[in-house]
Chain A
Amino acid sequence: MSPAADTGSRGSGDGRERGGGASAGAGGGAGAGAGRGAGAGRGASAGRGASAGGGAGAAPSPPLDALYREHAARLLALLVRELRDFGLAEEALQEAWEAALRQWPRDGRPANPAGWLLTVARRRARDRLRRAGTEARTLPLLIVDEDGGAAAAAAAGSAPGVAGAAGAPPPGVSGLGEQVEEEQEAIPDERLRLIFTSCHPALAPEARLALTLRYVAGLPTRAVARLLLVSEATMAARLTRAKRKIAASGIPYRVPVGDELPARLGSVLAVVYLLFTEGHLPSSGPRVVRAELCAEAIGLARLLRELLPGEPEATALLALTVLQHARRDARVDARGRLVRLPDQDRTRWRRDEIAEGLALLRAAELEAVAAASIAGAAARGAGAAARGAGAAARGAGAAARGARAAARGAGAAADAAAPGPYLLEARIAAEHDRAATAAATDWPAIAALYGQLEAVKPTPAVRLARAVAVSEADGPAAALPLLDGVEQALPHSPQPHLARAELLRALAREEEALAAYDRALALSRNEAVRAHLAARRGELARGR
């Protein structure tokens, strides 16, 4: 199940968050088999990329858990592609990790740990298939595109270590352990496939969140359960169900192309942003900010940007999350209460992170311009093709279909030219972050941006945010009509009632404001938000 051991407080992806809370863990002693339950390790800090090892401090090499997290997603992604079976790939990698925990502390860490893990995992998978007598399995459980399948079969067959595995002693029996030739092979990055599979729209939303944290972020099941506020058993069952659905329903293991990419990319970005907002504004529980969840989401956004270079919405999502997360310290007061944006101590905003977020936003803007000009050229081409095909068609079915496809292409290209929702949201976050004081906030600009956002993403949540911005820009009377219908569209959210209460209060309609506070209180499950609501209501009630 969970490599890196089902245990341990983790550091967040952001070393600053935890001050390097990782004990240099993965205690080899807990080793064998302990990965399934007993604590093999603690606190993989950081994990990926540049920040790896940063939290662990003085250790000359990263702790084993950090090392595992750095490589887990990449190794799993490759193994799933080769083996065409999510469960088998996961088990093989888990066994390889357990072997590493036994062997590395004794024999020293190999020069190429990822290559070592890959070789042993392939060997274990081959052993399992042989034991199960399904070596020549006729039907893949997980479909791979044809070229990928062929390449994968070749890779599995010729993998160093796999061929020689027949005579190898079983693990743990021989004192020699795994004999692995030094691997020089570069490990191809198949993580994008893993991400698109984990975020497939045919999976339930909560399953997408769980799969993404477990397999893309490489967190142990227990950590995923804690982040998503369910028990470990519930999370384990949810992951098992999700993997069964992937295998049984034929959810593909590939990166979508062409027409289908924009919608599927939207699904991936939505998963990451939902994880972020659950951390930024938890829907339940005692805390106002769950920075560790925000940090995981930002880590995933960084990964997406790395894997989708030049994709403006991926860059914009990263900019947006970084810009919002930079305000986290000011959003909670010393007693753990929510502090609203106008009341925040802006000296506690993290200037270095804001600078990074603004730089990312500029990058996203440039990428959007580039994408729009490419899309514009494509649209002109497609339009011409459509006209040509239409003229040539005169009822010929194939040509007519071609013309329709070209017209669709042109439509998609036109959509691509408009700023995407994450770019607009990042611009909004940047407006707030740039304002030196609350009074200096450019509310007319923000209200206009929300108007644009509502045009591309007409959801009640966007309408709600726009109403708040319009209230600041043009006064509460202008904003109040915008809230009509929002409460009904978000029947479980206290936020529209809170917004209405504040607008009514500003308009001195106190009775109605109190009633709206009461409705908000009745719906709020986040204790910090409840405290804020009760305080606001109390002020108004006393003031009358």
Chain B
Amino acid sequence: MLYALLMYQDADFDTQWERASDAERAAVYRQHGDFSTLLESRGAERGGHELALAATATTVRKADDTAADGVVTDGPFAELAEHLGGFYIVEARDLDEALEYAKALPVRTVEVRAIITDDQRAE
């Protein structure tokens, strides 16, 4: 199965990240590099990206799903305590393996969601 590992950062992460020194940032990237190496060693890596800071997000809200136009607002969709900071797509045998990867991530909160593939939709 394919899983998305959605990484959530504390809402004040933006500020911390902007203040972080080059060495501190490099350390974080190194941890993610290690994680990617782990995924590659098990043939599990299917993609993923770091997202730009939550403060730079733009949200579109429409009256309903199919409305032609919507209201554009600055910021992430909800004022949550934690924001989506990035994601990985991994191939895992089952939820247990996906959770094992989630635990290996250098992030405090990770939401694990199965991805619906075209094959499954066709079924």
Which residues of B have CB within 8 Å of A145? 93
The yes or no answer to B119 lying at the interface (CB within 8 A) is yes
State A461–B109 Cα separation when bound (angstroms).
28
The yes or no answer to B52 lying at the interface (CB within 8 A) is no
CB-CB contacts below 8 Å: A225-248 with B = 248
Is the beta-carbon distance between A202 and B95 smaller than 8 angstroms? yes
Closest-CB distance, A487 to chain B (whole angstroms): 27
The yes or no answer to A438 lying at the interface (CB within 8 A) is no
Which residues of B have CB within 8 Å of A254? 94
The yes or no answer to A249 lying at the interface (CB within 8 A) is yes
Chain A: which residue is nearest B95 at the CB level? A250
Closest-CB distance, A196 to chain B (whole angstroms): 10
Among A134-142, A280-288, A382-390, A444-452, the stretch that binds chain B is A134-142
Q: Mark B60-104, 1 if CB is under 8 A from A, else 0.
A: 000000000000000000000000000000001111101100000
Which residues of A have CB within 8 Å of B123? 134, 137-139
How many pairs of A and B residues are in contact by the CB < 8 Å rule?
37
Which residues of B have CB within 8 Å of A252? 93-96
Closest-CB distance, B96 to chain A (whole angstroms): 5
The yes or no answer to B15 lying at the interface (CB within 8 A) is no
The yes or no answer to B120 lying at the interface (CB within 8 A) is yes
Which residues of B have CB within 8 Å of A260? 96
With known contacts A250-B1, A251-B94, A252-B93, A139–B119 Cβ distance under 8 A: yes
Contact partner of A256 among B1, B92, B96, CB < 8 A?
Answer: B96
Closest-CB distance, B116 to chain A (whole angstroms): 8
The yes or no answer to A143 lying at the interface (CB within 8 A) is yes
Which residues of B have CB within 8 Å of A139? 117, 119-120, 123
Chain B: which residue is nearest A251 at the CB level? B95
Is the beta-carbon distance between A249 and B95 smaller than 8 angstroms? yes
Which residues of A have CB within 8 Å of B54? none
Which residues of B have CB within 8 Å of A256? 96
With known contacts A251-B94, A260-B96, A143–B1 Cβ distance under 8 A: yes
Which residues of A have CB within 8 Å of B53? none
Chain A: which residue is nearest B117 at the CB level? A139
The yes or no answer to B44 lying at the interface (CB within 8 A) is no
Is the beta-carbon distance between B114 and A249 smaller than 8 angstroms? yes
Closest-CB distance, B41 to chain A (whole angstroms): 9
Closest-CB distance, B115 to chain A (whole angstroms): 10
Which residues of B have CB within 8 Å of A138? 119, 123
Closest-CB distance, B43 to chain A (whole angstroms): 15
State A251–B93 Cα separation when bound (angstroms).
10
State A248–B94 Cα separation when bound (angstroms).
10
Chain B: which residue is nearest A247 at the CB level? B114
State A286–B98 Cα separation when bound (angstroms).
44
State A143–B98 Cα separation when bound (angstroms).
13
State A252–B96 Cα separation when bound (angstroms).
7
Closest-CB distance, B117 to chain A (whole angstroms): 7
Chain B: which residue is nearest A144 at the CB level? B94
In the complex, which of the residues B3, B96, B119 has the most CB atoms of chain A within 10 Å of its own CB atom? B96
State A254–B95 Cα separation when bound (angstroms).
12
Closest-CB distance, A211 to chain B (whole angstroms): 15
Q: Mark A119-159, 1 if CB is under 8 A from B, else 0.
A: 00000000000000010011100010100000000000000
Is the beta-carbon distance between B114 and A248 smaller than 8 angstroms? yes
Which residues of A have CB within 8 Å of B93? 143, 145, 252
State A249–B116 Cα separation when bound (angstroms).
10
Chain B: which residue is nearest A256 at the CB level? B96
State A99–B76 Cα separation when bound (angstroms).
56
CB-CB contacts below 8 Å: A324-361 with B = none
State A430–B96 Cα separation when bound (angstroms).
37
Chain A: which residue is nearest B120 at the CB level? A139
State A145–B94 Cα separation when bound (angstroms).
9
Which residues of A have CB within 8 Å of B94? 143, 250-252, 254
Q: Mark A247-274, 1 if CB is under 8 A from B, else 0.
A: 0111110101000100000000000000
Closest-CB distance, B104 to chain A (whole angstroms): 12
Which residues of B have CB within 8 Å of A251? 94-96
Which residues of A have CB within 8 Å of B114? 248-250
State A412–B3 Cα separation when bound (angstroms).
29
With known contacts A249-B114, A250-B94, A252-B93, A202–B99 Cβ distance under 8 A: yes
In the complex, which of the residues B92, B94, B114 has the most CB atoms of chain A within 10 Å of its own CB atom? B94
Chain B: which residue is nearest A397 at the CB level? B37
Which residues of A have CB within 8 Å of B112? 249
CB-CB contacts below 8 Å: B1-40 with A = 1, 3
Contacts A/B (CB < 8 Å), 27 sampled: A134-B123, A137-B123, A138-B123, A139-B117, A139-B119, A139-B123, A143-B93, A143-B94, A200-B95, A202-B95, A248-B114, A249-B112, A249-B113, A249-B114, A250-B3, A250-B92, A250-B95, A250-B98, A251-B94, A251-B95, A251-B96, A252-B93, A252-B94, A252-B95, A252-B96, A256-B96, A260-B96
Supplied contacts A250-B3, A250-B98, 14 more A-B pairs, CB within 8 Å: A134-B123, A137-B123, A138-B119, A139-B117, A143-B1, A143-B93, A143-B94, A145-B93, A200-B95, A248-B114, A249-B95, A249-B114, A252-B95, A252-B96
Interface residues in chain B, defined as those with a beta carbon under 8 Å from any beta carbon in chain A: 1, 3, 92-96, 98-99, 112-114, 117, 119-120, 123
Query: Closest 10 CB pairs between A and B?
Result: A252-B94, A143-B94, A250-B95, A250-B1, A250-B94, A251-B95, A249-B95, A249-B114, A252-B96, A138-B119
